[in-house]
Amino acid sequence: MIFGVKNVQTELGEFSSEKCVACKDSYTYRFIKATRFLVVFFINLIPLSSRYEAVCAECKDTLAVDNKTGRKIAKANFNKRRLRLAVFTILKPAVAAIVIAAAVALPLTLRGLDTSPEAIKSLFADSEDGIYGVEDSGGNMIAFVQVENGVNTITFYDDVSVLVGEPGADGSFKLHEYRQEATNDAEQPDGLFLVRIPDNPGMLVDRFGIPVRTYYYDSANDTYGYSRGVVDLSSISYTADKVTYPFHYFTSSSDEPTEYVYVLYFSGGRELLAQFIPKLPTGETNQFVSLTVTDIVNGRDQTVTQYDFDDNMKKMAVQAGITQESSVQDILDFLEQYSPAPSYVTAYTYYKNTKVPSGISYSMPDANGDMQTVTQALTVQEKNGYYIVRAENQSE
């Protein structure tokens, strides 16, 4: 998913209540928290709303639970320890092959801001109900906080640290671990209780913001692995005008390629990220499959244009001799000569002179090839050095 809305379900455990009206058989329910996220580039970006559900353990009949009742159920039935176990139990590895990252991390202080969960939550002491994003001036998303009926809950927290202690981890790789409060229970004597976000545990990002590893959660071992990423960080080639990343995809299907090469090119105010498949299972080599072009003005991404090449374009690229060794000029010439239709274009506006987006618009071609655009406006408010972002017209 590139851009859209995604529903994420977190199972919080089982509880007993009145007899199920559907099957008239069971008193046991699975307790689920469902959150809707705005998704951009596979990242669960903005939690739009969340609600609780109770699912009959016998007949799977699903009851919507209003949020106030949901919090009451959480408080009455789930203490922290049990909740933690329940959250872990339902997680499933995303792919068959598992590689555990030998990650040792050092905590990172972001620009002198106190980014502790407690400090973040204190920003919303008197806020009206809603879901708020918290960013620094660099546009880095620190957290999302949901305010409802006077209760503040962190629904997303980016725990950032620097990866060290493995080959190639030279201090320029940032480890992002995504967490959420496990319960809306306001009584947490040990302070905030954060757990990993099950289906979005985090990523490893290099100095240019490229996600070099995308993590998933391995519930059996309470640790994380990655389903795609650079296995040996020292194998990334950094030069002045381009960076070459050898990616490995861990897939259970033998028909899927497992080796990809991403090349990041720098060209004036532009960054181009080209994706190549060196060798397909069918024997073809050097497939140029996609290209992302980012136009940057004053250090801020203005537009991001994505090209996913069809078979014809892939053939043209082979004829033009485009490979992972090609120069940025080769790539630009290829673009100009064949002018492929973009798969989508994302455009950003910003709050004042910050890197905090105040609006995101997304365009993609309809069935007739005409570009259709949707826009998400964001309200930005500055508070104690933080930037508080709220999606306008939040839909249910």
Between 14 and 58, name the residue whose CB sits nearer to Zn ion. Answer: 58
Tally Cβ neighbours within 10 Å of residue 115.
Answer: 21
Query: Which residues from 13-52 bind Zn ion, rule CB under 5 A?
Result: 20, 22-23, 26
Between 57 and 192, name the residue whose CB sits nearer to Zn ion. Answer: 57
| Strand, helix or coil for residue 183 | coil
Between 31 and 245, name the residue whose CB sits nearer to Zn ion. Answer: 31
Between 30 and 242, name the residue whose CB sits nearer to Zn ion. Answer: 30
Write down the least CB distance from residue 244 to Zn ion, Å: 56
Write down the least CB distance from residue 68 to Zn ion, Å: 23
Write down the least CB distance from residue 56 to Zn ion, Å: 3
Between 23 and 108, name the residue whose CB sits nearer to Zn ion. Answer: 23
Between 28 and 267, name the residue whose CB sits nearer to Zn ion. Answer: 28
Between 57 and 347, name the residue whose CB sits nearer to Zn ion. Answer: 57
User: Distance between CA atoms of 295 and 145, rounded to whole angstroms?
Assistant: 31
341 binds Zn ion (CB under 5 A): no
Q: Which of 56, 243, 263, 272 binds Zn ion (CB under 5 A)?
A: 56
Residue 333 corresponds to which tokens in the numbers above? 């010439």
Q: State how far the alpha carbon of 372 is from the alpha carbons of 79, 99, 365, in Å.
A: 48, 40, 6
Q: Output Rg (C-alpha) for the chain, integer angstroms.
A: 23
Write down the least CB distance from residue 16 to Zn ion, Å: 13
Write down the least CB distance from residue 7 to Zn ion, Å: 22
Q: State how far the alpha carbon of 380 is from the alpha carbons of 132, 297, 307, 376, 396, in Å.
A: 10, 20, 31, 13, 21
Candidates 59-67, 179-187, 338-346, 368-376: pick the segment binding Zn ion (CB under 5 A).
59-67
Residues 6+ positions from 311 with CB-CB distance below 8 Å? none
Between 8 and 56, name the residue whose CB sits nearer to Zn ion. Answer: 56
Write down the least CB distance from residue 87 to Zn ion, Å: 24
For tokens 């996600």, what's the residue? 211
Write down the least CB distance from residue 60 to Zn ion, Å: 7
Tally Cβ neighbours within 10 Å of residue 259.
Answer: 13
Q: Which of 4, 5, 41, 59 binds Zn ion (CB under 5 A)?
A: 59
Q: Site size for Zn ion, by CB under 5 A?
A: 8
Q: Report CA 108 to chain centroid distance, whole Å.
A: 20
Q: Which of 11, 14, 53, 58 binds Zn ion (CB under 5 A)?
A: 58
Residue 17 corresponds to which tokens in the numbers above? 């209540």
How do strand 43-56 and strand 371-383 relate by DSSP bridges? Answer: unpaired
Write down the least CB distance from residue 18 to Zn ion, Å: 11
186 touches 80 (CB < 8 A): no
User: Distance between CA atoms of 59 and 195, rounded to whole angstroms?
Assistant: 30
Q: Partners of 380 in the beta sheet? A: 389
Residues at the interface with Zn ion (CB under 5 A)? 20, 22-23, 26, 56, 58-59, 61
